[in-house]
Amino acid sequence: MKKTGIDVVIPVYRPDQKLRRLLLQLTRQSVRPDKILLVNTERELFDESCVEGIEHVTVIHIRKNEFDHGGTRHMAATKLQGAFLLFLTQDAVPEDEFLIEHLRKAFDQEQVCAAYARQLPAPDCSVLERYTRSFNYGDISRVKTAEDLPELGIKTFFCSNVCAMYRRSAYEELGGFERKTIFNEDMIFAGKLIRHGRAVAYCADARVVHSHNYSGMQQFRRNFDLGVSQAEHPEIFAQVPSEGEGIRMVKQTAAYLCKTGRFYLLPVLVYQSGCKFLGYRLGKAFRKLPAGVIRWCTMNQGYWN
């Protein structure tokens, strides 16, 4: 196989056959990665059948108390030499064989140092989550720089390691992902890139199937951790608050439900939006909360050990 200079990192925990579908899709890409590194949490929970017969896959194992959203990915990056690093989550399945090709093409622009893919809803995705996917991941590609901050606000920094590629030289120059991160390591690093005059590309033609049907409580805890990550990194987020973008999404979702006759989902939207907002606000104020309350609110218990 011709060398492409692209290596893949996938953190893994309790993998199932969706991971195998992801790996098989990577082997069918028009531009194939040189290496695929799986970082598995808890050796005894790893299903070897997920990787049987798939070439260029290496698995390393860590303990649960060693996992960190940024640190684990950075550790994996240091074990690879590719000029480009592609990070995926184990449940993000490439929609076609052109995912890597489209992401790699974004780097033809020298200023682009990160590129992330469009996330499409899975067949079992709820109506609300399906619309959220279309709101956050539209069908128009865009390259974002610091000049877009007045227009896009916090969306300028938006990037998702569900499926994102980075230029290694810039990744190393800026120190890579934060080593201890509760969440949001992708946006924190994208913010660094933007602040240092680089660009982040959204590639609508690069597509993965990835969605979750979170409950209100899961939304609360996820957004609590989001708020914590923003509070811990004021150098990135202090000047670009998230609330306005969240309100805009709720309004547009409500309008969509009314337009499509799904009025019965409005109470669900209000409830889930309230969970998100409350979790986010508590996360932003986590330093004022007792340790027991923080542990009840968080999705990432290990971060607080």
Q: For residue range 220-238, list pLDDT tens digits in order.
A: 999 999 999 999 999 888 8
Contact 152, 248 (CB under 8 A): no
- CA 253, CA 274: separation in Å to the nearest integer? 14
- pLDDT for the residue numbered 240: 80
- pLDDT for the residue numbered 302: 87
Residue 130: both structure tokens together: 């399906």
pTM above 0.75, yes or no: yes
- CA 223, CA 73: separation in Å to the nearest integer? 21
- pLDDT for the residue numbered 1: 62
Q: What does pLDDT average to over the chain?
A: 94
- CA 42, CA 40: separation in Å to the nearest integer? 6
pLDDT at 241 over 90: no
- CA 233, CA 251: separation in Å to the nearest integer? 28
How confident is residue 40, by pLDDT bands cut at 50, 70 and 90?
A: very high
- CA 153, CA 244: separation in Å to the nearest integer? 9
- CA 228, CA 226: separation in Å to the nearest integer? 5
